[in-house]
Amino acid sequence: MTKNKIKALIILLLTAGPVLAVAGGKAAPGTIDGFTAVDMPYDAGASVLLKWPVGPSDSADASYVVYGSSLAEGGWRKGEEFVATAKTCKDINLPFWAWDSGEAQHALKVELNTLFGDIPPGTPLKFKAQLLRKGSVEAESPAVDAASKSNWFRLDRLNNLLFLLVMIVIFFWAVSHAKRKGLFIRRIAGLDAIDEAIGRATEMGKPIFYVPGIGTMSSISTIASAFILGEVSKKVAQYDSDIKIPHYDPIVMTVCKEIVKQSYLEAGRPDSYREDMNFFVSADQFSYAASVDGMISREKPAACFFMGYFMAESLLLAEVGAASGAIQIAGTDIESQLPFFFTACDYTLIGEELYAAGAYLSKEPMLVSALKVQDFGKLVVMASVSLGIVLVSLGTKLHWDFFVRVILNLFKAY
Amino acid sequence: MSETWMIAGGWMAAGLTIFLFSFLYRDNPFFKAAEHLYLGAGMGWWFQVYLFNIWKPKVWEPLLSGDFFVLIPAVLGLSLVTQFIPRISWISRYGFTFMMGYGAGLAIPATLSTDFMSQIAGAIQPFTALATMTPMMIFNSLVVAGGTICVLFYFFFSVEHKGAVKKISNIGIYFLMIYFGAAFGNTVMARFSLLYGRFDDLYTFSGANYFYASQILLIALVAYFILHSFLGGKKTEEEEPAH
């Protein structure tokens, strides 16, 4: 009798429990199927990719919340919360050749440093997602394991690699062509004045100041300046004039010493070369400017060359040179300093003209070829911009979304 | 810091500022003194920066803690110093080669991305929103794209600039000049703020609590110039005209 009563009580509890829970609005949450957490492809191991299928119950009044847990700490950390209709594969910013951007799946990139702080790649982690509607959990995914890893190859930057390879091929073709037949470079205004400036210095018996700026040897403008210095010092050697090259960077000074020595050798005047033509002044920007200003104002050179990387000291130097009456030729690729050289110098090489100057003066096949490759790059930019605008406008007008995406992805920078 | 040191610092700051500004009139011994002090102080400052911010934390301390891998960059860096000893200066080539190699490796992909890809993408991206663009926005985007092309024509060295190419590159020059004008104004404004900073300091040091440092030093410098010109300094200048 007692046994029967207990059985009846158990049956009652088992059947009435869920009924009461539903009545109280606390139904057991459903399951989000197909929830995965994998390493985010093509990154340095700082993020994890969560994916799960878009469900029929995903509507604007519901939202997803993702949680992460590191095995070391335990507990769940709340990650991003978003409307259930948002965040599909389409929203992951990867190009078409590296990513399927369909809208059938939710995809969320979880930045591990944001969620867990500073954790190294490979740390074991767990993730889960919940679907919330009106404040209660409607469905929940099982917790899945994931670990990020550093990837060796960035497939998403394939366009950059291909473009670089094309450039390299063109460079070698241009080198071979330049050696065989030579390549044309248009006349660059300002460079013709170099002879005039050196001639003037020779006539007046005054020195020439060649200021290579405050760049290091890794700066492209400093490298270009070193090439121009080679040609200028060759002419100085031929005219038996005097050149002074104050330096900011000891490594640039070492390179310039070799260049000037070589130029004197090529000009057949090795006896005229002196070690103190290149001298170190200071590695502090304004100390350097103050000191070079002092030298220019005292020695009153016949010509000043300001070629290379310049910052705030550009006007300080050029203004003193102008006040001392020197003929001045400047060149830099720092756009913000060019206006100061325009105002204070007789001739100014703007940006890429500085790079071109070395090639123009020396006619060295390697330099001329590099210039040709740059010109090819400009041609690509001009053609791509013109054609890209037409095609993107057309694609947008005709709602060819994938076509527009392909064009934009082809020129995706990083 | 004691009050005496504060006052001494004020005199030093006011004096050096006025001495450096005196160059606007002409070169003089006070400017030379300030110039050489600045040069020496600059070198001293950078020496301690290299010593305490680079050598100590990045070489000395890792070595003490048993991390001998830092010897590789340290030796490469030291190889540059061999330039001063002609007999073994060839060793420096290893350091230079490494620097040039990693410099190029870092710079080439970044330059390609920013100078090429970003330029193209930036110019065509606005047209993806063509349906929602106002005529003014379309015009603006076309000006940006057209300006980019014209400026690139100016820097195109493979063809002689004559005929249509010359006209396009001339338009490019106008774009450049507009940019340079804006950059000039912007930088001059920034420089003026630095000038105001120096004037503000000179004003601070002109107070009674600094014993009128700015006024006294300024008057002393003016007196020097007057005396110098009366005592033959001007003659010396005239003997050495600029040009």
pLDDT single digits (tens) A108-120: 999 999 998 888 8
B71 close to A (CB below 8 A): no
pLDDT for position B243: 41
**Closest in A204, A287, A336 to B183, CB measured:** A336
Tens of pLDDT along chain B (243 residues) come to 688 999 999 999 999 999 999 998 888 999 999 999 999 999 999 999 999 999 999 999 999 999 999 999 999 999 988 887 889 989 988 988 898 888 888 888 888 888 889 999 999 999 999 889 999 999 999 999 999 999 999 999 988 888 999 999 999 999 999 999 998 999 889 889 999 999 999 999 999 999 999 999 999 999 999 999 888 755 544 444 444
B113 close to A (CB below 8 A): yes
Amino acid, single-letter form, for residue B211: F
pTM: 0.77
For A138-196, the pLDDT digits (tens) are 999 999 999 999 999 999 999 999 999 998 898 888 888 888 877 888 888 778 888 88
The CATH classification number of A184-363 equals: 3.40.50
Retrieve residue A155's tokens: 């497939």
Domains of chain A by residue range: 29-146, 155-175+368-410, 184-363
Query: What architecture (CATH level 2) is domain A29-146?
Result: Sandwich (2.60)
For B22-47, the pLDDT digits (tens) are 998 888 999 999 999 999 999 999 99
Interface confidence, given as ipTM, is 0.80
State the smallest CA–CA distance between residue A78 and chain B in angstroms.
Answer: 35
Rg (chain B; Cα; Å): 29
Using a CB-CB cut-off of 8 Å, the residues of chain A touching B153 are 382
For A250-307, the pLDDT digits (tens) are 889 988 999 999 999 999 999 999 999 999 999 999 999 999 999 999 999 999 999 9
Contact predicate B100/A219, CB 8 Å? no
B199 close to A (CB below 8 A): no
B192 close to A (CB below 8 A): no
DSSP class per residue in B204-225 = HTTSGGGTTHHHHHHHHHHHHH
Band of residue A382 on the pLDDT scale cut at 50, 70, 90: very high
B152 close to A (CB below 8 A): yes
pLDDT for position A7: 57
B180 close to A (CB below 8 A): yes
pLDDT for position A27: 62
CA pair distance A351, A345, nearest whole angstrom: 15
**What residue of A is the nearest CA neighbor of B29?**
A294
Q: Name every residue whose Cβ is closer than 8 Å to that of residue B70 and which is 6 or more positions away in sequence.
A: B58, B59, B62, B63
3-class DSSP state for residue A363? coil
State the smallest CA–CA distance between residue B215 and chain A in angstroms.
Answer: 24
pLDDT for position A20: 44
The answer to whether the Cβ–Cβ distance between B112 and A163 falls below 8 Å is yes
Residue to mutate among A284, A293, A316, A354, with most B CBs inside 10 A, is A284
Using a CB-CB cut-off of 8 Å, the residues of chain A touching B120 are 381, 384-385, 388, 411
State the smallest CA–CA distance between residue B160 and chain A in angstroms.
Answer: 5
Average pLDDT value for residue range A339-367: 88
The answer to whether the Cβ–Cβ distance between A163 and B116 falls below 8 Å is yes
Residue to mutate among A328, A352, A411, A412, with most B CBs inside 10 A, is A411
B49 close to A (CB below 8 A): no
Q: Is the pLDDT of residue A12 over 70?
A: no
Contact predicate A352/B155, CB 8 Å? yes
Single out the residue of A382, A257, A113 nearest to residue B89, CA to CA: A257
CA pair distance A27, B86, nearest whole angstrom: 85
**What residue of A is the nearest CA neighbor of B107?**
A218
Contact predicate B14/B221, CB 8 Å? no
| Mean pLDDT score across all residues of chain A | 88
CA dihedral sign, ordered A170, A332, A266, A216: negative
**What residue of A is the nearest CA neighbor of B243?**
A325
Retrieve residue B64's tokens: 């003490």
Contact predicate A368/B103, CB 8 Å? no
The residue among A213 and A13 whose pLDDT is bigger is A213
The residue among B63 and A1 whose pLDDT is bigger is B63
Amino acid, single-letter form, for residue A331: G
